[in-house]
């Protein structure tokens, strides 16, 4: 039993209170510690990926209680991938937040940031569904703090909506867990996966209710229609680096759907056969449409990017909804891509918006370094909309290729292709208003523009954006090896008996 598995949870959990209590008045010390922690987390997640690479499912028994009696952490290829994704994204977001001074505009940014990482990593690693609820709450309570970081009227009110929405979601989660426990007597994912197929279809009513309730809860997190409405207000009003970090939060919902609805209620389970995909697929189609029309109709930059995130979640979940290894491979590739594409868009938007008066999509005078920002925005928009040569194109291609079944092809291809077209038009409109038409407007006299800093961005401020773009380029250059790893990942995910026997294996003596 290797102790590496618990480190992504323990390290941020130790750092956060130290930063919160001992470095609350010293922003430099907090920055150094937080950066150190994030770098270490990246290193740890590389170790975890190399451990998971050989295909064994590693188990960490907390307190050495064997599953299903104790809580276990499970490290397989999927969780290792998600932890790596989280840690790399977090490091870039943290660098951006420090370079632009966002972390100094309110108290406790770094402590909340570490708690957020703890919750996200824990949610990816846990093998117990009640423990998943607890880690959800940890990442949510940290995200409430980050969401309203540095305050402001609109942000507080949007934050309130976000909190209410998620508290209602948590209550549903508990109802689902209660129903599940009452009908199966266990909450360990592997044990559930072993027991639920034995329940005959005509006695599985309660299990079906629980599966659907869980589906709704995860759909709230993943911003799936009809519970996607919280996302634009939240992301558009959150501080931009926090919105970039939240790019991983929607993926937590997608991961939970993948894990729970594949392993526990997956294909071949008599009680829930065909029920999940029957709902997930149309919801994902509508989500894509909503995202595309939102991008087309947005009047401000931040809501525009938020709607493009909704659209990408729809594309991701339409591939998940098929519940086949090939489609899941495509979904995973698109998940990695869309996380960094969304983060890149939010970070570049922050650099632009902080040099303009507000983020409305109306031409004002050109900001400093208009050309550089325009080029980065252009590249990020290409990635998000799914145009070649960046990884968005490959991701959508994989998704389209996986969705060639006769019963899904019409809806899926129409939604993805038309959605992509609308997204491209929306981004082109926004880019031309922000960067192109602005060059025609002369800069105002100095006393007017004094309120808004319009200086050149430093290298440190541009570097995190460039890093996210570099990840996208690397994803498209190394698409072959990455897709090979992801294919093994989804095969491992669909190997339910392997997961069950690994988690429920009797403890070796000594």
Partner 1 sequence: MELLVASAIGTMTAGGVYLLLRLRTFPVILGLALLSYAVNVFLFSSGRLAIDMSPILSKYGEASYTDPLPQALVLTAIVISFGMTAVLVMISLGAFLESDTDSIDIDQADTDEDAAK
Tell whether residue 154 is a contact of partner 1 (CB under 8 A).
yes
Of 259, 140, 268, give the one whose Cα is nearest residue 201. Answer: 268
Name residue 218's beta-bridge partners. none
The three-state secondary structure class of 58 is strand
Backbone angles phi, psi at 265, to 5 degrees: -105, 30
Q: Name which of 2 and 171 has its Cβ closer to partner 1.
A: 171
378 binding partner 1? (CB under 8 A): no
Residue 161 in the binding site for partner 1 (CB under 8 A): yes
* Among the listed residues 22, 160, 368, 507, the single contact to partner 1 using CB under 8 A: 160
Torsional class of 466: left (φ above 0), alpha (ψ -120 to 50), beta (otherwise): alpha
| Sign of the dihedral through C-alpha 350, 356, 357, 358 | negative
Residue from the set 35, 56, 170, 491 that interacts with partner 1 by CB under 8 A:
170
Segment 293 to 322, residues that bind partner 1, using CB under 8 A: 299-300
Nearer to partner 1, 57 or 131 (CB): 131
Structure tokens that stand for 227 in this block: 């519970």
Question: Angle of helix 370-385 relative to helix 391-402, nearest 10 degrees?
Answer: 10
Instruction: Select the span of 149-157, 342-350, 428-436, 441-449 touching partner 1 (CB under 8 A).
Output: 149-157
Distance CA 478, CA 473 (A): 8
* Residue number, 42 or 141, with CB nearest to partner 1: 141
State which of residues 167, 452, 474, 505 lies at the interface with partner 1 (CB under 8 A).
167
**Euclidean distance between CA atoms 120 and 16, whole angstroms:** 14
Choose the binding region for partner 1 from 59-67, 145-153, 267-275, 346-354 (rule: CB under 8 A): 145-153
Torsion of CA 26, 27, 33, 35, to 10 degrees: -170
Per-residue interface string for the shown chain with partner 1, residues 109-138, x marking contact by CB under 8 A: ---------------------x---x--x-
In the complex with partner 1, the residue whose CB is nearer, 22 or 182, is 182
Among 46, 181, 279, 365, contact with partner 1 (rule: CB under 8 A): 181
Integer Cα distance of 87 and 239 in angstroms: 19
Rule CB under 8 A: say whether 158 interacts with partner 1. Answer: yes
Q: Check if the beta carbon of residue 482 is closer than 8 Å to that of residue 475.
A: yes
Q: Does 365 bind partner 1 (CB under 8 A)?
A: no
Residues at the site binding partner 1, with contacts judged by CB under 8 A = 130, 134, 137, 141, 144, 148, 151-154, 156-161, 163-164, 167-168, 170-171, 174-175, 177-179, 181-182, 187, 233, 299-300, 357-360
């Amino acid at each position: 039993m290797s102790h590496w598995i618990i480190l992504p949870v323990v390290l941020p959990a130790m750092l956060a209170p130290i930063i919160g209590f001992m470095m609350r008045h010293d922003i430099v010390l907090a920055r150094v510690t937080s950066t150190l922690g994030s770098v270490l987390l990246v290193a740890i997640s590389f170790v975890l990926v190399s451990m998971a690479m050989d295909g064994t499912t590693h188990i960490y028994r907390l307190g050495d209680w064997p599953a299903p009696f104790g809580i276990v952490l499970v490290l397989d290829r999927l969780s290792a991938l998600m932890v790596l994704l989280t840690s790399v994204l977090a490091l870039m977001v943290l660098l951006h937040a420090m370079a632009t001074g966002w972390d100094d505009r309110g108290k406790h940014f770094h402590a909340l940031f570490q708690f957020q990482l703890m919750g996200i990593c824990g949610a990816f690693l846990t093998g117990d569904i009640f423990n998943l609820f607890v880690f959800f709450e940890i990442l949510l309570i940290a995200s409430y703090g980050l969401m309203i970081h540095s305050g402001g009227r609109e942000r507080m009110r949007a934050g309130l909506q976000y909190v209410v929405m998620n508290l209602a979601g948590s209550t549903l989660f508990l109802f689902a867990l209660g129903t599940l426990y009452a009908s199966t007597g266990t909450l360990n994912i592997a044990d559930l996966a072993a027991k639920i197929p034995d329940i005959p279809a005509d006695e599985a009513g309660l299990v079906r209710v629980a599966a659907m309730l869980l589906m709704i809860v995860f759909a709230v997190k993943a911003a799936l229609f009809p519970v996607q409405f919280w996302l634009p207000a939240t992301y558009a009003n959150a501080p931009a680096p926090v919105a970039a970090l939240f790019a991983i939060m929607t993926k937590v919902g997608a991961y939970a759907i993948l894990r729970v609805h594949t392993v526990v209620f997956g294909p071949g389970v008599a009680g829930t056969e065909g029920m999940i995909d029957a709902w997930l697929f149309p919801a994902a189609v509508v989500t894509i449409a909503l995202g595309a029309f939102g991008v087309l109709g947005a009047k401000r930059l931040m809501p525009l990017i938020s709607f493009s995130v909704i659209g990408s979640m729809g594309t991701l979940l339409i591939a998940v909804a098929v519940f086949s290894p090939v489609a899941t491979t495509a979904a995973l590739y698109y998940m990695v891509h869309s996380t960094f594409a969304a983060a890149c868009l939010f970070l570049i938007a922050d650099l632009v918006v902080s040099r303009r008066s507000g983020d409305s999509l109306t031409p004002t005078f050109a900001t400093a370094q208009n050309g550089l920002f325009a080029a980065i925005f252009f590249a990020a928009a290409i990635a998000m909309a799914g145009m070649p040569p960046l990884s968005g194109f490959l991701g959508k291609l994989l998704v389209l290729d996986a969705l060639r079944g006769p019963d899904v092809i019409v809806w899926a291809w129409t939604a993805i292709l038309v959605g992509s077209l609308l997204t491209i038009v929306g981004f082109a409109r926004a880019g031309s208003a922000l960067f192109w038409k602005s060059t025609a407007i002369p800069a105002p006299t100095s006393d007017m523009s004094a309120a808004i800093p319009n200086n050149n961005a430093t290298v440190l401020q541009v570097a995190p954006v460039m890093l996210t773009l570099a990840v996208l380029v690397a994803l498209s250059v190394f698409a072959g090896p990455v897709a090979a790893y992801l294919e093994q990942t989804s095969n491992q995910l669909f190997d339910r008996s392997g997961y069950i026997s690994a988690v429920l294996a009797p403890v070796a003596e000594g």
